[in-house]
Chain A
Amino acid sequence: QSVLTQPPSVSAAPGQKVTISCSGSSSNIGYHHVSWYQHLPGTAPKLLIYDNDKRFSGIPDRFSGSKSGTSATLGITGLQTGDEADYYCGSWDTSLSHFVFGPGTKVTVL
């Protein structure tokens, strides 16, 4: 059981928008920065967002991140078939003294 909660899956048609929530607590998201990763199984995960809302180098502005309190959100606009992947949030957890990933959300383009 992860201390971070994400929906198992989200889906939308090409060109539409999806949002992925990541819910935590005061010991992780409420106190530390959140990062987001795109992962296709068998390949290296790809950093999308760091420090809650900063897009990493080369990441298109279709991807956005935000944080409020103990929750964070990843938004993807203009959905493309190439966006089909698993998406993970992550944050350091002070109580556990280690980094934690969310369980992952599978994005499906209908």
Chain B
Amino acid sequence: QVHLVQSGDEVKKPGASVKLSCTSSGDTFATYYIHWVRQASGQGLEWMGVINPTGRSTTYAPKFQGRLTMTRDTSTTTVYMELSSLTSDDTALYYCAADGAGSYYRSNFFDPWGHGTLITVSS
């Protein structure tokens, strides 16, 4: 079982970029697809994208195409999510979540989840 630890909260100005990290102490982390999901205040859960175990394949929600980049450092078992051209609409709690299947399979259900990283975009 993996345990996901996310980087700390950040405040960014409009137009800036933010790069979040998600890491695990579990030795099976390398076999998991990792998804990113966000929740803006008062809004529901929104799926952003997924990166495969090797880091060579990503799928992004069309809404974020062009300004979302997910990468993976297999040597440090860390996944990164970078979002550029930030606006106030990007103010949200961002979660990484492991795909429930593990073992290099993708099932599209999510467990476990990280604790969340709050990104505030404000001038």
Contact = CB atoms under 8 A, between A and B. Distances in A.
Size bracket, chain A contacts: 20 to 34
Interface string B91-118: 0010101001000000111111111100
Contacts of A97: 59, 62
Contacts of B62: 96-98
A2 B114 contact: no
Interface centre among B35, B107, B109, B113 (most CB of A within 10 A): B109
Interface centre among A56, A97, A98 (most CB of B within 10 A): A98
Interface residues of B, number: 27
B10 interface: no
Interface stretch (B13-21, B24-32, B42-50, B73-81): B42-50
Interface of A: 2, 32-33, 35, 37, 39, 41-47, 50-51, 56, 86, 88, 90-92, 96-104
Given A50-B100, A86-B44, A99-B50, 10 more contacts: A2-B44, A32-B108, A33-B107, A42-B116, A50-B111, A90-B45, A90-B109, A91-B108, A98-B47, A99-B47
Q: Sorted from nearest, which 4 A-B pairs have the closest CB atoms?
A: A35-B109, A44-B113, A50-B109, A47-B111
